[in-house]
Chain A
Amino acid sequence: MAPMTSPTGIDLGGDPKRLRRERVVRGAFWGAALFSVLLSALIILSLAEEAWRFMSTVEWSALWSIGWFPRRGLFDLRTIIVATLLVAGIAMLVAAPLGLGAAVYLSEYASPRMRRVLKPVLEILAGIPSVVLGYFALTWISPNLIQPIFDSDIFNVLSAGIGVGILTTPLVASVAEDSLRAVPHALREASYGLGARKSATVRKVVLPAAVSGIMAAMILGVSRAIGETMVVAMAAGATGGGLLTLNPIEPGITMTAAMASLAIGTDQVAGAGNAFQSLFFVGLLLFAMTLLLNIVSDRFVQRVREKY
C-alpha cells in the first residue's frame, strides 16, 4: 500500500509493522473460522465413504427383513427407525409438558427469588451426563416405575424413553423460556388492561405470541431425543440386535443403540461381511434426520427474531 499523504505532508498510513500484524492476526482468525466448515465436510465425507460401500454391497431385501441382526446380515431399517421414533415420542410426552410448564412458570409466575432457587434445578439437570441417566433408567425407573405396573422385562423401551425425556426437559425448558421472555411486556399489559386474568393472558396472548419459539423448542427436543445414545443403549436392551416392535414395554433397539452395540463389538465384527459398514449407513441416516430437524427449528427461531 502506498503511503497516504495528507495536504500537510504528514504520513497518515500508520505504522507498517502494526498494519502487518493486523493482517496476520485477521488471517489467523479467518483460518480458524474456516476450520469449522472443514469439520462438517469431514463428517459428511467419513459417513458417506463407508455408507456408500454398504449400500453397494448389501442385498436390498435385507433392509426389509424380520429384524436388526447385523451379524447375521439382517438390516431391517423399520426395526431401528420405529424404535427410535417410539423412544423420541415417549421422551417428548415427558419433556414437552415438563419443559413447557417449567418455562411458563419461570417466565410468567416465578418471583425473582423463586427463579433464583428453581432455575438451577434445570441447570443441574442439564449438566448430568447421559450415561448417568442411563444408569438411573435401568436401575431405578425400570424396576420401580415400569415393572410393577406392566410386569415387563427389565430392559424396555418405555423406561429408556422416560430417561431420554428427563434428559431433554432442560433443553426444551430453556429454549421455550427464551421465546416467552422475548414477548414484549406491552402485549401482557394490553391484555390486563382489557380485564383478562393472568392465566387467560398467558394462554391467549403470551403463548400464541411465542408459538414459533415453542415449536423450535419441541423440534430441538425431538432432535436431541433421536440422537441420544447412552440411555437407550443401557436401558432399552441393545444386545446386538432386535425384532420390530411397537410395544413400549418390550426391549427395542434404536438407531443410536444399534451403532453403539456395533462399536463395542467392533473387533469381532470387523471381518464379518458388511455389518461394520452398516454403522456408517445408520450414522448417515441419523445425521440427515437431525440436520433436517435442526434446520426446521432454526427457521422457527429466526421468525421470532424478525417479529420483535
Chain B
Amino acid sequence: MRTITTGDAVAARIAGRKLHWRELAFEGALLLALLVSLLFLVTLLADILITAMPVLTERAADFVSGELSPDPARAGVGTSILGSLIITIAVAVLAFPAGIGTAIYLEEYASDSWLTRFIRTNIRNLAGVPSIVFGILGFAIFVRLVSAVGLGGSVNGRNILAAGLTLAALVLPIVIITASEALLAVPDSIREAGFGVGATRWEVIRHHVLPSASPGILTGTVLTLSRAFGETAPLLLVGAVTGFFTLGEGSTVMDRLTSAYTALPVTVFSWSRQPSEEFRALAAAAIVTLLVVLLTANAAAIILRNRYERKW
C-alpha cells in the first residue's frame, strides 16, 4: 500500500477536476435569483398578452384611436395616448434645459464650495422623494400657478399643463444626475486642449464637451422621458380623470390643454379597478400599448448609445 504524501494531496488539488457540489450549489442559487426575476418578467408579459389578445385581434386600430367610454365594446385609448404625449413633450421642454444646465454648472463651472455640495446632496435626495409627494407639490403649487396665470380652464388648473409641470419637477433630479454622469465621462484632456488654444469655458463646453457627452445625455433623457410616460401616482393628484369624459365637438387646442385630461397609465389604473372581465381585457390591451411605447423608446436609446458611445 502506498502512503499519501503532502505532494500527492497538493497535486490532486491542483489537477482536481472533482466537482465541488457546494461550489455548484452556491453558483446555482445565485443564478436562480436571476432566473426567478426573469420568470416574473416572462409571466407578466405572457399573462398580459393573453388577456389582451381578444381586444388586440378584434379591434386593434379602433382601440388605439378610440375615445374613453363606459361601454367596453367602444372604449379606446386614443385620448389617453394623446394626453400622455402632450405631458411627455411638456416634460421634455421644461425639464431638459433646466436639468442639463444644472449639470453643466455643477460639472464644468462650480468649485467645491459648501453651496455646490449642498446642491448636490439636495439633488440626490430629491431623486429619492416618492412620486406621490411630487403630486402634492403639483396640487399645492403648480395647479395654483396655472390658475393664477389664467390657464386654469374649466377644471381650476387641474389640467394637462399642471401635469406637465409636476412630472417635469419629478424627473428634473434624474435628468441632472444622468447628464452629470455623461459630462463626467468626457476626459479633461479635451477641455485642456480647448483652453490651450485660447477658448473660453463656454466655447469649450459648446464645441467640445457637449458634442462628446451628447450620446450619454441623449440616452439618459430618453430613459427619463419613458419614466415620465409611465408615471401614474402624481397625476391622480393633479386631476387626471379616472372615469371617462369627452371633449365634445369643435374643441380647440387650447381646450385640450386647459380642460379635463387623462394619461395612458391612469387609464390602465381606472380600467383595472372595474370589476368586469371586459374592462380587465381592455386594461391589459392598454398595458400592451404602454409597454410597446416604453420598450421601443428604451431599446432605441440603448441602440443609439451603443452606436455613438466613445471609449476614451
Chain A interface residues toward B at CB < 8 A = 14, 18-19, 21-22, 25-26, 28-37, 39-40, 42-43, 45-47, 49-50, 97-102, 104-106, 108-109, 118, 121-125, 127-136, 138-140, 166, 169-170, 195, 197-199, 202, 220, 223-224, 226-230, 233-234, 256, 259-260, 263-264, 266, 279-280, 283, 286-287, 290-291, 293-295, 298
Cβ–Cβ contact A260 & B233, under 8 A: yes
Contact of A46 with B141 at beta-carbon distance under 8 Å, contacts A197-B20, A291-B128 already known:
yes
Bound Cα distance from A31 to B105, whole angstroms: 9
Cβ–Cβ contact B291 & A139, under 8 A: no
Chosen A-B contacts, 14 in total, with CB atoms closer than 8 Å, are: A25-B202, A29-B101, A32-B99, A33-B110, A36-B176, A98-B37, A101-B29, A101-B32, A121-B34, A227-B129, A229-B232, A263-B237, A264-B236, A287-B129
Bound Cα distance from A61 to B34, whole angstroms: 48
Contact of A129 with B105 at beta-carbon distance under 8 Å, contacts A19-B200, A43-B129 already known:
no
Which of A125, A130, A202 contacts B37, CB < 8 Å? Answer: A125
A130 nearest CB across to chain B (Å): 7
B277 nearest CB across to chain A (Å): 11
Q: Which residues of B contact A30 (CB under 8 A)?
A: 105, 109
Measured as residues with beta carbon below 8 angstroms from the partner, the interface class of chain B is 35 or more
Closest to B121 in A: A298
Judged by DSSP, the binding face of B is: helix
Contact of A122 with B130 at beta-carbon distance under 8 Å, contacts A199-B22, A283-B136 already known:
no
- Interface presence of B36 (CB below 8 A): yes
Residue-wise, chain B 37-61 has the 8 Å CB interface mask toward A (1 for contact) of 1101101100110010000000000
Cβ–Cβ contact B200 & A129, under 8 A: no
Which of B33, B104, B223, B294 contacts A102, CB < 8 Å? Answer: B33
Bound Cα distance from A134 to B29, whole angstroms: 28
Query: 20 new A-B pairs (CB below 8 Å) besides A36-B172, A125-B40?
Result: A19-B200, A22-B202, A32-B102, A32-B105, A33-B101, A40-B122, A97-B33, A108-B30, A109-B31, A118-B34, A127-B223, A135-B287, A136-B44, A195-B13, A198-B27, A227-B133, A229-B132, A234-B269, A259-B237, A293-B128
Q: Which residues of A contact B118 (CB under 8 A)?
A: 37
Give 8 closest A-B pairs by Cβ, nearest first: A101-B33, A227-B130, A129-B230, A32-B101, A46-B140, A29-B105, A105-B30, A229-B233
Cβ–Cβ contact B236 & A127, under 8 A: no
Cβ–Cβ contact B105 & A106, under 8 A: no
Q: Which residues of B contact A32 (CB under 8 A)?
A: 97-99, 101-102, 105
Cβ–Cβ contact A40 & B125, under 8 A: yes
B245 nearest CB across to chain A (Å): 13
A158 nearest CB across to chain B (Å): 15
Bound Cα distance from A118 to B31, whole angstroms: 10
Closest to B127 in A: A294
Q: Which residues of B contact A290 (CB under 8 A)?
A: 128-130
- Interface presence of B242 (CB below 8 A): yes
Cβ–Cβ contact A33 & B105, under 8 A: yes
Closest to A99 in B: B33
Judged by DSSP, the binding face of A is: helix
Bound Cα distance from A170 to B121, whole angstroms: 23
Chain B interface residues toward A at CB < 8 A = 13, 20, 22-23, 26-27, 29-34, 36-38, 40-41, 43-44, 47-48, 51, 97-99, 101-102, 104-106, 108-110, 116, 118-119, 121-126, 128-137, 139-141, 169, 172-173, 176, 200-203, 223, 226, 230-233, 236-237, 242, 265, 268-269, 272-273, 280, 283-284, 287, 290-291, 294-295, 298
Cβ–Cβ contact B136 & A46, under 8 A: yes
Cβ–Cβ contact A286 & B34, under 8 A: no
Cβ-Cβ contact count across A and B, 8 Å cutoff: 254
Q: Which residues of B contact A98 (CB under 8 A)?
A: 33, 36-37
A197 nearest CB across to chain B (Å): 6
Which of B31, B102, B133 contacts A29, CB < 8 Å? Answer: B102
Q: Which residues of B contact A229 (CB under 8 A)?
A: 130-132, 232-233
Cβ–Cβ contact B132 & A256, under 8 A: yes
Q: Which residues of B contact A31 (CB under 8 A)?
A: 101
Bound Cα distance from A34 to B284, whole angstroms: 42
Bound Cα distance from A151 to B176, whole angstroms: 47
A249 nearest CB across to chain B (Å): 20
Q: Which residues of A contact B30 (CB under 8 A)?
A: 101-102, 104-105, 108-109
Which of A104, A131, A198 gathers the greatest number of chain B CB atoms within 10 Å?
A131
Q: Which residues of A contact B41 (CB under 8 A)?
A: 121, 124-125, 128
Closest to B119 in A: A33
Closest to B99 in A: A32
Q: Which residues of A contact B139 (CB under 8 A)?
A: 46, 263
Closest to B230 in A: A129
Cβ–Cβ contact B287 & A132, under 8 A: yes
Q: Which residues of B contact A101 (CB under 8 A)?
A: 29-30, 32-34
Cβ–Cβ contact A121 & B38, under 8 A: yes
Bound Cα distance from A127 to B26, whole angstroms: 29
B189 nearest CB across to chain A (Å): 22
Which of A45, A118, A127, A131 contacts B269, CB < 8 Å? Answer: A131
A236 nearest CB across to chain B (Å): 13
